[in-house]
Amino acid sequence: MKTITKSVVVLTVLLLLPAAVFGLDIKVGIKGGAGFPFYVGDDYDSYISGYDTQLLIAYEVGGFISIGMEMMALEVDLLFTSAGGAFGDSTIVQDNIDNFLEIPILLKLRFKVDEITASVYGGADILIKWGYFTYQQVDPDTGDTTILYRWEDDQMSKTQYGLVFGVGMEVPFEGFFVTADARYCLGLTSRHNDTSPEGEYWFQDNIQILVGIGMELNY
């Protein structure tokens, strides 16, 4: 965690210094919302054979910093993300829940629609696993949850990589602005590492709906 903190501090300084020197817009804020994660891949399809993919609602919360000009910006988010996947049938639902520190690095193309700034963007996604993996069952009728096990799995990839694509908007108010984003996170790294005896290759995708509040820093 110390290494992650140092990396975040260094990245923030590298963003702020050139922005201040060249007079670019600097914006900071917080954001959060819901994620709808799921696994994809042939191994996962084989693993859940006989079951259906179920909806899993997760959380996303953190902050962001962006630098740029009127038409273009670079944004870096730092999000605490709950991800995973769920499958089951009419009698039982099984949830796989992972926790990550997620760092999307986004290039945004921005354009004005009246007072609202709309954007389309894409970029890289870095997910660093932290905490425990939780495997639980949920009764669809009663909603009762039973935790089957919770552990730090050495057979899971500690760092995963992916791509992010999305759209967003920024609504100005006096002294602050409100943001809304819809994005798709495409996983490129297997959830399991090379030590997994099952040889399972599951890829984590996630649909995220985020809202936030921020302010512009003036130098």
CATH number at residue 134: 2.40.160
How far apart, in whole angstroms, are the C-alpha atoms of residue 165 and residue 106? Answer: 9
Q: What's the confidence (pLDDT) of residue 155?
A: 65
More confident residue, 219 or 106: 106
Task: Judge residue 69's burial from the number of C-beta atoms within 10 Å of its C-beta, 0-12 exposed, 13-18 middle, 19 or more buried.
Answer: exposed
Is residue 203's pLDDT more than 70?
yes
pLDDT digits (tens, 9 = 90+) for 21-47: 455 788 999 999 999 998 887 777 666
Is residue 79's pLDDT more than 80?
yes
Q: What's the confidence (pLDDT) of residue 39?
A: 85
In a domain, 1, yes or no: no
The upper half-sphere exposure of residue 146, i.e. CA atoms within 13 Å in the direction of its Cβ, equals 8
Q: How many domains does the chain have?
A: 1
In a domain, 94, yes or no: yes
In a domain, 57, yes or no: yes
Range of the domain at 122: 28-178+188-217
Q: What is the 3-state secondary structure (H, E, C) of the chain?
A: CHHHHHHHHHHHHHHHHHHHHHCCEEEEEEEEEEEEEEEECHHHHHHCCCCEEECCCEEEEEEEEEEECCCEEEEEEEEEEEEEEEEECCCCEEEEEEEEEEEEEEEEEEEEECCEEEEEEEEEEEEEECCCEEEEEECCCCCCEEEEEEECCCCECCEEEEEEEEEEEEEEECCEEEEEEEEEEEECCECECCCCCCCCCCEEEEEEEEEEEEEEECC
In a domain, 91, yes or no: yes
Percent of the chain with pLDDT strictly greater than 70 = 69
In a domain, 44, yes or no: yes
Q: What's the confidence (pLDDT) of residue 156?
A: 72
In a domain, 117, yes or no: yes
